[in-house]
Amino acid sequence: MDIPVIDLTRYLEIADKLSTDPVKLSRQLGELGPWLGELCKEVSRILRETGALVVKDPRCSADDNDRFIDMMEKYFERPPEFKRLQERPQLHYQVGVTPEGVEVPRSLVDEEMQEELKAMPKEFQPSTPKGPDRKWRYMWRVGPRPLNTHFKELNSEPVIPEGFPEWKETMDSWGHKMISAIEAVAEMAAIGFGLPKDAFTSIMKQGPHLLAPTGSDLGCYGQEGTVFAGYHYDLNFLTIHGRSRFPGLNIWLRNGQKVGVKVPLGCLLIQTGKQIEWLTAGDCIAGMHEVVVTKRTIDAVKLASEQNCSLWRVSSTLFAHIASDAVLKPLGHFAESPLASKYPPIRAGEFVEQELSVINLKGNKGES
């Protein structure tokens, strides 16, 4: 299945002129013609029904993505002892590198989720991981941090590996471009949901946004069925990925259908996280997904080997967050939802810490 592609170009041309006042915005929507309201409703509909959205943002080119992946391939190809110099377990791995074998898939530790998986039709069930994920990940903060926060460890200074003089500029450039795409989608989704344009973006400011590329060694773990990222949802607001050079990402639609994702060249994939589920009282739900070696992955490995290219599968993933000290709760008319009581108010940082403790990224080496 091909997920619909939303071209952001036309929205970006008028975005700055749109009011955050609902009354003025309603008038502007009428003046601009039906295309804008229809486009925003389409964005919110796709997020609601599929949990995933493919966008084309003229500010984010395929060349930008390639430049980023080229650098990350070189990093992940370095020896494990070099990469571990950037490991920060005392900060819950929220900056620097997370080695393979650390992050535990939610489906391995969540008993309620395990019962749900057993009830799935066989053809839609995820692959069963044998243990922690066989992927490395690098966490890089993007954007300004709050001066005062109750969650300092979620807003720590970045870690820069030696021997990569282009590191900071490359990470910041690609990270800011992807955040800009997320912000545009967040505005369009808010309008489509009947909320003020800045309902989401106003509480994203100074959030602990993470550019968090993964590195999976297909030269070592290239057997079909190998699980690099076990079945899970993301704990943040929205997740965005550039196109990977190797396939293997499966997502689950709202109806439970399992879909292998194909992202067109020059496009970005956006997925719903747990925080948008909270803010919409479950109107959107956090999208489930996994990364597994498939026949298509193996075909891509053969081609890369023939061309003497890197066999590390890099995902240029960015996690966009609600600000740590902001309160997660159903917004606007979603507060009247019969499901709203399932989403009680909680500070975003506290919510993140609770989620990290479940997947083994909090509580390491004496941390509580």
Sole residue written with tokens 């955040």: 179
Structure tokens at 223: 């057997």
Element (H, E) at 5: strand 5-7
Token pair recorded at residue 162: 């030696």
**pTM, whole model, 2 decimals?**
0.90
How many C-beta neighbours within 10 Å does residue 198 have? 18
**pLDDT at residue number 145:** 77
Buried-exposed string 92-107: b where 16+ CB fall within 10 A, e elsewhere:
bbbbbbbbbebbbbbb
Give the phi and the psi of residue 228 in degrees, each rounded to 5: -90, -35
Alpha carbon distance 283, 274 (integer Å): 11
SS (H, E, C) 264-292: CCCCEEEEECHHHHHHCCCCCCCCCEEEE
Q: Which residues contact 322 (CB under 8 A, 6 or more apart)?
A: 203, 204, 207, 236, 237, 275, 279, 328, 348
Structural contact between residues 246 and 301, judged by C-beta atoms closer than 8 angstroms: yes
Please list the alpha-helical segments (H only) found in the chain.
9-14, 22-32, 34-50, 62-76, 80-83, 106-109, 111-118, 167-192, 274-279, 295-306, 348-358
Tens digits of residue pLDDT in 244-299: 999 999 999 888 889 988 889 999 999 999 999 999 999 999 998 999 999 999 99
Q: What is the pLDDT of residues 164-193, one digit of tens each?
A: 999 999 999 999 999 999 999 999 999 999
- Assess contact for 237 and 320: CB atoms under 8 A: yes
List phi, psi (to 5°) of 251.
Answer: -125, 160
User: Which residues contact residue 199 at a Cβ distance below 8 angstroms, ignoring those fewer than 6 apart?
Assistant: 190, 193, 279, 331, 332
In terms of Cβ atoms closer than 10 Å to its own Cβ (0-12, 13-18, 19+), residue 368 is: exposed
What's the pLDDT at 110?
Answer: 79
Low-confidence ranges of the chain (pLDDT < 50): 362-368
Instruction: Specify the pLDDT at position 130.
Output: 78
The closest of 341, 337, 291, 336 to 312, measured between CA atoms, is 291
User: For position 363, what pLDDT does the model report?
Assistant: 39
Residue pointed to by tokens 């709760």? 329
The amino acid that residue 246 corresponds to is: F
CA–CA distance, 312 with 69 (Å, rounded to integer): 10
What does the alpha-carbon distance between residue 289 and residue 249 come to, in Å, rounded to a whole number? 7
CA-nearest of 199, 186, 22, 48 to 30 is 22
Which phi and psi (to 5°) does residue 322 adopt?
Answer: -75, 145
Q: Alpha carbon 189 to chain centroid distance?
A: 16
Report the pLDDT value the prediction gives residue 356, as an integer from 0 to 100.
Answer: 79
Write down the pLDDT at residue 153.
Answer: 59
